[in-house]
Structure 1
């Protein structure tokens, strides 16, 4: 970008509230996005475990196999051109593509893949559990991922599951292959380059990180040597804009090309000069109760809660077009989903459930919530409806990272949050909502069950493991449906909605792809029509 155009863009970014007449359009080869990205805790792919960081990782890194922009529903080769699975021996042999280079210019080698997986297991950050499901430990990982010649990697796994499940695991975020030589050169005090990768990138992806300022912006620069072809755009700039109203003004004035967090009312008021695309999402939104809080441990409280949510009132108003009622942990539209919604808003029934169980009201409960739309609106609706049965919420708003960090520490009382699958297999959500074999404080698990200190009944733990081991697809789906019914009826985690993503953009923007979850967001094919 020449000096004049760089200065023009900088001026536009600095003046989001200026009038339309004083602003030029964003440059033709730069996409400027307004988005709430304050949920980001980390951008190192071995640590990144938030929705916004998932979007970032997909732009910058590739995996051995992955769901890609051309068809986000189909698993294809990433940096691996082909693979051969041996279910009996529990191995998969991957052949690496020729000519793939990291952003540094270093060539991709089997050693990079081996280092990537060793590093995830050694660091043991939030998403590491995705890979440890394969029986990988710090003690055996060097034997589980090995090189076979100059361009093959052999992956071994342990457990009662098929290679299809393993491929979905390897396509998840912590499978993102990193440049071993570059990361090792930036290691400090044995951190495996973690601090450096939280401010820099070392991938093979279509974009590389140019600038990251937490709570402010992510700037990505195109990789001209990407093995699937260079992106049309030269840069993607994602600006942190928490206020939906500000995003709307910026889009209408031409300061940005895309707004990702508008309310239904704002979407409806954009006019014909802006186009809006709707993308079904895999994320489910839930209310949960920490079982360390004595007043929240009664199953009667859990059951009553299901009748104290004004599902229709919310989806008909401020959630219209952005969420639909869905009361099971695996999202609608995927094999094995439970699509029955047996609960509706009924305060009188809720009060009777509490009274019959001898639950003393009023109950005072703090409710943690991300301080942005639509979460604050949802929290206020819950505060009003639960109050009718004597459950009084004190709303505690915070940034996404603050709320999520508190949730991981199990220091909340009630939590309003969302969950998306870590990989596109129903076990991802079943393990999160229906499994917890060790509820000890020092046995951290990236699941809603552990984070809410819910010691899951052994029946559910066994059934979750049985579903994972089932080879017959129809039987496997049936087990997951049964699990969802049991969790739906008796759990301190109340699933309420499934998300739909509405993205507003300039009519000039073409080729944007937004799949079912945050890992399936792609800017590689985007272009701006002239």
Structure 2
């Protein structure tokens, strides 16, 4: 039996609609925004954010700024509207789901077109999704793992999985799974295999059906969007030009906003937005990101850190309330690897226990050596700068006799060793791939983030089984229980020490309205309108 609805229910369990913080140079662009009427004509919208931008190719994108930009250029099968993330709604298609949550049939909305006027068809859907499967080096490739794509007719496509996949409707909202104009992409080197060569083409033009098109892009400085003249969806473009600028320092974002050089700042911290005063609008809430410490379990990488007692020592040595003071408005203590707003999250976090921490450090075999704490130095999350947090962690660990040396590096330098699992002790952040608790199962042993910490499935088979149970659940109740047991086990042991869920502060001037956040794309650009 199939069930269908305009809003396809998925088992998210979100207690609130919260957002993924963007990442935060000081490039200047004259701000010419002004009042606009219906459709384009709203002048120029200038957005400052710290770039995590690597490509204009949706199939190869897997970073926050890329999500923000691509969500305005491309449509996915389903979407979320702003911060309303309890269930996906149709974008290019409606969906029917079988009772076992193993088959999802998508029917395209009639009449939708790409930016060159070509109709969106089932062939475009099949090509776009199987292309992501074929680009094995893409960070987004895993989103399509275990999913089969089949064309039913010109307007219908079915996605099937071997086991229950209650999260699939949320998965297809990710901008990496945007639907591309297959004819245009194929003409420019696009394939569904490892030989795909369309990235350069997609980095300089658009092949989507979204309200805006890519006019130009420099992944180090700015991206410029212009209206899609063929757009016929629900979110008509409101601005003649949108400039997304790479401004890495939140202080510079504040100066630009106050001085009228920008309309919207994505990465201000709580103290900064508190002092804005009249003439500005601020939206503050917890993000869905978690800042955490990674303690590598591979002896060849971490040596003493590989002893589980070392992670226990770190976990109970920290004063989380003092760390939270550095985060500002909207932030919360991380209660576990699953942020507080998601299904299965724990009600409270770790309580410091210095004596337990000292005993665990002694039992770990630590002999006074200095441990380097690595972290990205230029990528604040929700306005939270990593350096002051690292300095406070360093001071607190000194209190139990653990000597820590800080080793900051630019994000572009630090990301590779983190992904490759060669960092012994580091501080990083993680946000959901889509608005669902399953986005945090990768912390488990043998999973993506677990392996970055040198944590194999055989290192903790009981937690590995909890991951499987959560993945295989076929009801909301069963899934919530499994997620809760997983979160509890991860809090009691394992190589991760969750610290802070940063707040998200979106600050804008009075020339724009309807500024809303979103877990996947931080800022919902298509919804923004000129005030008045």
* TM-score bin, normalised by smaller chain: 0.7 to 0.9
- Summarize the alignment of residues 150-165 of structure 1 with structure 2, pairs less than 5 Å apart: 150-159=154-163, 161-162=164-165, 164-165=166-167
CA RMSD of aligned residues (A): 2.3
* Distance (whole Å) between structure 2 residues aligned to residue 420 and residue 355 of structure 1: 34
* Distance (whole Å) between structure 1 residues aligned to residue 425 and residue 171 of structure 2: 31
**Map of 1:149 onto structure 2:** 153
* Distance (whole Å) between structure 2 residues aligned to residue 157 and residue 508 of structure 1: 46
**Map of 2:84 onto structure 1:** 71
**Map of 2:207 onto structure 1:** 202
**Map of 2:360 onto structure 1:** 353
**Map of 2:348 onto structure 1:** 340
Decide whether the 8 Å contact of 1:52 with 1:518 is kept in 2. no
CA deviation map 1:304-324 (0-9, x unaligned): 1112333211322x3121421
**Map of 2:433 onto structure 1:** 422
**Map of 1:444 onto structure 2:** none
* Distance (whole Å) between structure 1 residues aligned to residue 467 and residue 473 of structure 2: 10
Structure 2 residue ranges without an equivalent (≥5): 1-25, 36-41
**Other structure's SS at 2:285 match:** strand
**Map of 2:5 onto structure 1:** none
Q: CA deviation at 1:372?
A: 4.6
* Distance (whole Å) between structure 2 residues aligned to residue 509 and residue 261 of structure 1: 17
Which of 310, 313, 316 lines up with 2:319 in the alignment? Answer: 310
Query: Structure 1 residues 229 and 172 mapped into 2: Cα distance closer, same or farther (>3 Å)?
Result: closer
Which of 259, 262, 269 lines up with 2:265 in the alignment? Answer: 259
* Distance (whole Å) between structure 2 residues aligned to residue 262 and residue 229 of structure 1: 27
Moved more, 187-196 or 42-51: 187-196
* Distance (whole Å) between structure 1 residues aligned to residue 171 and residue 252 of structure 2: 38
**Map of 2:181 onto structure 1:** 179
Which of 26, 35, 43 lines up with 2:49 in the alignment? Answer: 35
Q: CA deviation at 1:117?
A: 1.4
CA deviation map 1:211-262 (0-9, x unaligned): 1101201211122423114122222211111111111111111000111222
* Distance (whole Å) between structure 1 residues aligned to residue 103 and residue 249 of structure 2: 48
- Summarize the alignment of residues 406-445 of structure 1 with structure 2, pairs less than 5 Å apart: 406-430=417-441, 432-436=442-446
Question: Does residue 85 of structure 1 match 2:67?
Answer: no
TM score, norm. by length of structure 1? 0.86
Which of 375, 388, 396 lines up with 1:368 in the alignment? Answer: 375
**Map of 2:465 onto structure 1:** 462
* Distance (whole Å) between structure 1 residues aligned to residue 101 and residue 507 of structure 2: 49
* Distance (whole Å) between structure 2 residues aligned to residue 101 and residue 195 of structure 1: 23
**Other structure's SS at 2:433 match:** coil
* Distance (whole Å) between structure 1 residues aligned to residue 175 and residue 296 of structure 2: 28
Query: Structure 1 residues 425 and 455 mapped into 2: Cα distance closer, same or farther (>3 Å)?
Result: same
**Other structure's SS at 1:334 match:** coil
**Other structure's SS at 2:226 match:** strand
Query: Structure 1 residues 394 and 190 mapped into 2: Cα distance closer, same or farther (>3 Å)?
Result: same
Structure with greater contact order relative to length (CA < 8 Å, sep ≥ 6): 2
**Other structure's SS at 1:239 match:** strand
* Distance (whole Å) between structure 2 residues aligned to residue 327 and residue 361 of structure 1: 30
CA deviation map 1:381-431 (0-9, x unaligned): 12222233333333333333332233112232222111111122222211x
Decide whether the 8 Å contact of 2:217 with 2:223 is kept in 1. yes
CA deviation map 1:306-358 (0-9, x unaligned): 12333211322x312142101311111222211221323x5454223212444
The aligned length equals 486
Decide whether the 8 Å contact of 1:65 with 1:170 is kept in 2. yes
Which of 381, 385, 389 lines up with 2:392 in the alignment? Answer: 381
* Distance (whole Å) between structure 2 residues aligned to residue 25 and residue 220 of structure 1: 15
Question: Does residue 116 of structure 1 match 2:128?
Answer: yes
TM score, norm. by length of structure 2? 0.85
* Distance (whole Å) between structure 1 residues aligned to residue 497 and residue 526 of structure 2: 37
Question: Does residue 213 of structure 1 match 2:218?
Answer: yes
Query: Structure 1 residues 229 and 422 mapped into 2: Cα distance closer, same or farther (>3 Å)?
Result: closer
- Summarize the alignment of residues 232-271 of structure 1 with structure 2, pairs less than 5 Å apart: 232-271=238-277
Decide whether the 8 Å contact of 1:326 with 1:496 is kept in 2. yes
**Other structure's SS at 1:391 match:** coil
Decide whether the 8 Å contact of 1:324 with 1:500 is kept in 2. yes
**Map of 2:196 onto structure 1:** 191
* Distance (whole Å) between structure 1 residues aligned to residue 421 and residue 477 of structure 2: 36
**Map of 1:10 onto structure 2:** none
Decide whether the 8 Å contact of 2:286 with 2:331 is kept in 1. no
**Map of 1:127 onto structure 2:** 140
* Distance (whole Å) between structure 2 residues aligned to residue 358 and residue 117 of structure 1: 49
Decide whether the 8 Å contact of 2:150 with 2:159 is kept in 1. yes
Q: CA deviation at 1:520?
A: 5.4
Query: Structure 1 residues 479 and 72 mapped into 2: Cα distance closer, same or farther (>3 Å)?
Result: closer
**Map of 2:500 onto structure 1:** 497
**Other structure's SS at 2:293 match:** strand
**Map of 1:510 onto structure 2:** 513
**Other structure's SS at 2:290 match:** strand
Q: CA deviation at 1:203?
A: 1.4
**Other structure's SS at 1:518 match:** coil
Structure 1 residue ranges without an equivalent (≥5): 1-12, 17-22, 137-143, 438-446
Query: Structure 1 residues 24 and 242 mapped into 2: Cα distance closer, same or farther (>3 Å)?
Result: closer
Decide whether the 8 Å contact of 2:83 with 2:517 is kept in 1. no
Query: Structure 1 residues 229 and 368 mapped into 2: Cα distance closer, same or farther (>3 Å)?
Result: closer
**Other structure's SS at 1:423 match:** coil
